[in-house]
Amino acid sequence: MEQNKNQMMVEFDSISKNESFARVVVAAFTARLNPTLEEIADIKTAVSEAVTNSVIHGYEDGTGRIRIYTSISGNWVTVVVKDYGKGIEDIEKAMEPMYTSKPELERSGMGFAFMEAFMDELHVDSAVGRGTVVTMRKRIGQKENGGELRPEGEKENR
């Protein structure tokens, strides 16, 4: 196995209380790359949004399972959030900023926009009646003070 490659998977019930657990477990797993506080906050926010979408939209009022697969390869972190819920009919529309299928919940409809803003790559795959898979990738160590690029493989000085 490549020296800087690692992976983990966790599965839990789709209840809102588990959103904070998901954030922390992915952040802890990613910590070995020595990310900046901003990088960790970005990942935690993106994971929160993906898990919250699964809870609120994927399973609506029921409970199901959410699986998170996280891998590290080099300085890239990949986070896959999968649910087995109702799926998304129109992914393109669902990814539009401010769009929400549940306006009565007074949510902003910015989940996918936040995931896109905080991660380097975002891909959503969904099938009605079979669930949704959100794949997000972020390169750790790409910014140093002032937003300048840090050479690949060079750790941040703390």
- Active-site residue, selected from the candidate residues 19, 23, 39, 49: 49
Distance, CA of 90 to CA of 18 (rounded, Å) = 27
- Active-site residue, selected from the candidate residues 67, 107, 137, 150: 107
Distance, CA of 94 to CA of 104 (rounded, Å) = 16
Q: Is 107 annotated in the active site? A: yes
Using alpha carbons, select from 85, 89, 113 the residue that is nearest to residue 99. Answer: 113
- Active-site residue, selected from the candidate residues 19, 23, 39, 53: 53
- Residues recognised as catalytic: 49, 53, 107
